[in-house]
């Protein structure tokens, strides 16, 4: 996998990428689209504003088993993302991670040109937008973010980074409890702090956290962060009796949810319905050579599930292939006919 989280720049020209298909959004739909484009013999680039692949799965529930993926009675979120990346890998997708797609134009030949916020321009034969709910921005910790990148994090892509640390997780939802349960076997200590005594997290995960001995502080909130170069201690205040306690903390995971925002995609001239992109049965949008798939699309009867996104992105990429090359067949052939 060519992970271009930061594209090497030697000349201005290196900021220009030529590809057949540009996929915007590295969630499950986008990753499967990368496989499909490769399977069709097309060059593919995948752009995502997040530093990791997997979209909502990686951001919100990497450790949760998913039960409704065809052929898998249960698959852990993280494992599904890894498998999707592995499935596309033989076709060497170019991953442009950490880049937000901000502007769409068309060149003199009518081919889409997408500009990223870090100065990259991608010239493509077709664009497939798999942007999910848009870019999600983590809700900040009310006590402040002075230690972001110095102990304070929103995601836990590599749990091992937090081995032997005292971890504090803020929040009462699924991701808060998932991170806590994931880190418990590795960390020196794990504590959860939540503003109320009611949790949005799945009951089974809350029970698991308790069984693992995770200290759950309710009706409490973070009131101050302390440290020098790195986070060292956190003060937690009880919201009713106002007593404060200070705990050693080297990792603070803020899991207070996300704000979703279609952002720049709203200005691309795409027909939107209820903040989703309207598509036809080919998954084509109203903008030439721009297709969409996954949670971001809207049409009568739309169901927002990973399984549905897989089907939609296969349709989108196959139709894009016929736009890129009018001689190409819509039907891709069977993967079973492919040589190993």
Ligand X SMILES: Cc1cc2nc3c(=O)[nH]c(=O)nc-3n(C[C@H](O)[C@H](O)[C@H](O)COP(=O)(O)OP(=O)(O)OC[C@H]3O[C@@H](n4cnc5c(N)ncnc54)[C@H](O)[C@@H]3O)c2cc1C
**Chain residues that interact with ligand X, rule: CB under 6 A:** 24-30, 47-50, 55-57, 60-61, 66, 68, 100-101, 130-135, 174, 263-265, 294-295, 304-307, 309
Comparing CB distances to ligand X, the nearer of 27 and 125 is: 27
Report the C-alpha gap between 124 and 42 in whole angstroms: 11
Residue 195: count other Cβ atoms within 10 Å of its Cβ: 16
CB 261, min distance to ligand X, A: 8
Say whether 188 sits in a helix, a strand or coil: coil
Report the C-alpha gap between 209 and 187 in whole angstroms: 14
CB 312, min distance to ligand X, A: 8
Comparing CB distances to ligand X, the nearer of 159 and 294 is: 294
CB 260, min distance to ligand X, A: 8
Q: What share of the chain is helix, strand, coil (3-state, %, to 5)?
A: 25, 30, 40
Say whether 191 sits in a helix, a strand or coil: strand
Report the C-alpha gap between 77 and 175 in whole angstroms: 12
Residue 70: count other Cβ atoms within 10 Å of its Cβ: 8
Comparing CB distances to ligand X, the nearer of 60 and 225 is: 60
CB 169, min distance to ligand X, A: 16
Residue facing ligand X at closest CB distance: 132
CB 185, min distance to ligand X, A: 22
Report the C-alpha gap between 317 and 75 in whole angstroms: 25
Report the C-alpha gap between 237 and 92 in whole angstroms: 50
CB 56, min distance to ligand X, A: 4
Say whether 118 sits in a helix, a strand or coil: coil
Comparing CB distances to ligand X, the nearer of 117 and 145 is: 117
**294 membership: H or E segment, kind and range:** none
Comparing CB distances to ligand X, the nearer of 137 and 196 is: 137
CB 28, min distance to ligand X, A: 5
Record the tokens describing residue 5, joined without a space. Answer: 């989280």
Comparing CB distances to ligand X, the nearer of 64 and 165 is: 64
Say whether 108 sits in a helix, a strand or coil: coil
Comparing CB distances to ligand X, the nearer of 28 and 151 is: 28
């Amino acid at each position: 996998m060519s992970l271009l989280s930061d594209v090497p720049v030697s000349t201005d020209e290196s900021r220009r990428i030529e590809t057949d298909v540009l996929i915007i959004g590295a969630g499950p739909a986008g990753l499967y689209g990368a496989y499909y484009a490769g399977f069709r013999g097309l060059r593919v680039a995948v752009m995502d504003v997040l530093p990791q692949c997997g979209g909502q799965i990686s951001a919100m529930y990497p450790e949760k088993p998913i039960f409704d993926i065809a052929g898998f009675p249960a698959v852990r979120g993280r494992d599904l993302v890894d498998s999707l990346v592995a499935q596309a890998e033989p076709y060497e997708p170019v991953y442009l991670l950490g880049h937000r797609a901000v502007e769409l134009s068309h060149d003199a030949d009518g081919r889409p040109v997408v500009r990223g916020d870090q100065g990259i321009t991608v010239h493509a034969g077709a664009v497939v937008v798999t942007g999910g709910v848009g870019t999600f921005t983590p809700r900040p910790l009310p006590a402040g973010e002075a230690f972001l990148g110095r102990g304070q994090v929103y995601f836990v892509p590599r749990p091992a980074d937090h081995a032997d640390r005292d971890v504090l997780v803020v929040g009462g939802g699924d991701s808060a409890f998932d991170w806590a349960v994931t880190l418990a076997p590795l960390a020196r200590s794990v504590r959860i702090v939540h503003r109320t005594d009611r949790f949005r997290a799945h009951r089974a995960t809350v029970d698991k956290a308790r069984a693992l001995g995770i200290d759950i502080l309710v009706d409490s909130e973070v009131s101050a962060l302390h440290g020098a170069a790195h986070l060292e201690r956190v003060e937690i205040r009880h919201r009713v009796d106002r007593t404060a306690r200070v705990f050693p903390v080297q990792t603070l995971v803020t899991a207070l949810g996300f704000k979703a925002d279609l952002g720049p995609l709203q200005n691309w001239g795409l027909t939107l319905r209820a903040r989703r992109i309207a598509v036809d049965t080919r998954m084509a949008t109203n903008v030439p050579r721009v297709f969409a798939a996954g949670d971001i699309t809207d049409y009568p009867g739309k169901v927002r599930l990973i399984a549905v996104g897989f089907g939609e992105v296969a349709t989108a990429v196959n139709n894009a292939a016929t736009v890129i090359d009018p001689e190409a067949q819509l039907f891709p052939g069977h993967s079973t006919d492919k040589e190993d």
